[in-house]
């Protein structure tokens, strides 16, 4: 699917031109859906931005900010994928595949060990590390403190 076709498809769903210069929420969310779909189809931020009149950094912003769109917009996103049979690999799928690959590597390594080594690893390393993860507290956030304010004006202009 070309960028022009994707834009026309979304214009049909939203019933307005998503490339129109408008800062209303509906237009912004439509651009976020467009940028997410176009990027997942493999287009560069520069090319997908040019199609709707955005610079590459604005297209990147819309792509990253996709999570804030409303349910209606996410339904349109899923409908476009389903109706056009787009071959999109979502980031959640990539993460799960990466996790699966890492687990396979761990299992390959452990499968070469004998039972005594596995038991030793579980008792001396795995249980201890798991307990550490469970008891670790999140870091405290440092409160922002405003700077000092002057109660009376300073006569020396250099100090102002």
Q: Is 26 exposed, middle or buried (0-12, 13-18, 19+ CB in 10 A)?
A: middle
Of 133, 132, 109, 135, give the one whose Cα is nearest residue 121: 109
- Give tens-digit pLDDT for 116-136: 999 999 999 999 998 998 888
Residue 46 banded pLDDT, cuts 50, 70, 90: very high
* Domain covering 3-83 in this structure, CATH number: 1.10.1750.10
Convert the pLDDT of each residue in 96-111 to its tens digit: 667 778 888 888 899 9
Contact 80, 88 (CB under 8 A): no
User: Who contacts 118 (Cβ-Cβ below 8 Å, separation ≥6)?
Assistant: 110
Question: Residue ranges per domain, the chain?
Answer: 3-83, 91-133
On the question of pLDDT at 95 being above 60, the answer is: no
Nearest to 46 by CA among 8, 65, 38, 6: 38
Mean pLDDT of 64-93: 82
**Taking the model in full, what pTM does it have?**
0.57
Percent of the chain residues topping a pLDDT of 70: 89
Q: What percent of the chain has pLDDT over 90?
A: 45
Q: For residue 64, what is the enclosing H or E element?
A: helix 56-64
């Amino acid at each position: 699917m070309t960028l022009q076709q994707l834009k026309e498809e979304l214009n049909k769903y939203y019933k307005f031109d998503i490339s129109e210069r408008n800062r209303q929420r509906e237009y912004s969310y439509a651009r976020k859906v467009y940028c997410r779909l176009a990027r997942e189809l493999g287009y560069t931020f520069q090319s997908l931005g040019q199609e709707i009149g955005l610079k590459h950094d604005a297209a990147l912003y819309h792509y990253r900010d996709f999570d804030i769109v409303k349910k209606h917009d996410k339904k349109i996103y899923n409908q476009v994928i389903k109706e056009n049979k787009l071959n999109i690999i979502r980031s959640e799928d990539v993460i799960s595949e990466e996790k699966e690959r890492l687990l396979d590597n761990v299992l390959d390594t452990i499968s070469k060990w004998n039972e005594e080594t596995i038991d030793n690893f579980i008792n001396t390393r795995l249980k201890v590390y798991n307990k550490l993860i469970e008891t670790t507290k999140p870091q405290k956030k440092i409160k922002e403190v405003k700077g000092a304010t002057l109660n009376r004006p300073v006569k020396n202009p250099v100090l102002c």
